[in-house]
Amino acid sequence: MSKYNIGVDVGGTTVKIGVFDREKAAIDIETKTSIPTRTENDGVHILPDIAEAIAVLMEEYGAEMDDVARIGIGVPGPVITDRKTGQMFVNKCVNLGWSSMIDVPQELSELTGVQNISVINDANAAALGEVIAGSCSDKTVVVVTLGTGIGGGIVQSGRIMPGAFGAAGEIGHIKIQPQHPLIKNLSTLKPFADLEYYVSATGIARTAKAALQILPDQSILRDDLNAENSLTDKDKTSEDTGNSLNWPDAKAVMDAAKKGDALALKLTDFFFDTLGIGLASVAGVVDPDMFIIGGGVAGAGLFLTDGLQASYRKYVFHASSETEFRLAVLGNDAGMIGAACSGN
């Protein structure tokens, strides 16, 4: 009885749900499913949809709802815990259509019959998952997820640091003025903005587009752009061909830099330098043992962590210069795994 934990990762388009055997390793998924996130009508369908999907998944797996010991659910918004009652609220989630304070554990408990439910910020859930997978639960770890934005989570001795307003680890919103000389040439970029403006996957693509538009440098990024363009009929009929080009994404920039493309290397240098300032600031606050870098951009592998660590050391207070840099390992399951392990 009660031998399973359920991990739920609620994204803006998809909800991922996994079943975990409490007697096995925390990262071993017994079975999983995913459903679309219905954000219409202020997202009123989301929790009922999740409850139904959990029931179906458990039935297909051949177990009862009574076998569920607990559910952990990760959401893309700030989670606040009432210090007196221990109640956990989600304080608005624009990506889900939730515009008010919602007691997610209470509502999901009524829908599923499961009593032990906890809610966690999705970036924090992913951070917790990576720390468990990396066997570094005895350390202070900052997990940085470079995707559409930048997600971050701080894990101390295996526990998430939530923050007073559910916003600890929101390092994508630290304000940064890039110091790399490239910024002076890229006049279409803001000179001072949120860290994620420059170094999320979106930020890398933004910087690449600005560089290709403004700088005369030859680059395989430009060749690719033209090649794509010549193949695409709709571009030729578009009035504003500039906007309909397939500008390079973060992966294209990283790949070109690895091949030695000079412009792409300028872009990755800018990326390393700017994120290096940001992570040095993070270390000036929490001085972690380790950064774990995840998200789509982390597909660039050691090229990314080595370059980033070198820039970080330029800017960080000397005491913290030996901070370890690692790549995330769980990919898209990190949030689901971490959510399943969160709570008590």
Residues at the interface with a copy of itself (CB under 8 A) = 78, 83, 91, 138-140, 154, 156, 161-171, 173-175, 177, 179, 192, 277, 280-290, 315-317, 319-320, 322-323
How far apart are CB 288 and a copy of itself at their closest, in Å? 6
How far apart are CB 275 and a copy of itself at their closest, in Å? 13
Cβ distance to a copy of itself smaller for residue 51 or 119: 119
Question: Within 13 Å of residue 206, how many CA atoms lie on the same side as its CB?
Answer: 18
Task: Give every CB contact of residue 338 below 8 A, 6+ residues apart in sequence.
Answer: 7, 72, 74, 120, 124, 125, 126, 127, 128, 129, 130, 132
**Amino acid type, 284:** G
Cβ distance to a copy of itself smaller for residue 11 or 169: 169
Cβ distance to a copy of itself smaller for residue 141 or 264: 141
Cβ distance to a copy of itself smaller for residue 72 or 288: 288
How far apart are CB 94 and a copy of itself at their closest, in Å? 11
Q: How far apart are CA 102 and CA 255, in angstroms?
A: 43
Distance from chain centroid for Cα 27: 18
CA torsion sign, 27 to 30 to 36 to 39?
negative
Neighbours of 81 (CB within 10 A): 15
Cβ distance to a copy of itself smaller for residue 12 or 299: 12
How far apart are CB 186 and a copy of itself at their closest, in Å? 16
The DSSP-derived string for 275-287 is HHHHHHHHHHHH-
Distance from chain centroid for Cα 159: 18
How far apart are CB 172 and a copy of itself at their closest, in Å? 8
Distance from chain centroid for Cα 292: 11
Q: Which one, of 311, 220, 213, lies nearest residue 258 by Cα?
A: 220
Cβ distance to a copy of itself smaller for residue 227 or 317: 317
How far apart are CB 11 and a copy of itself at their closest, in Å? 19
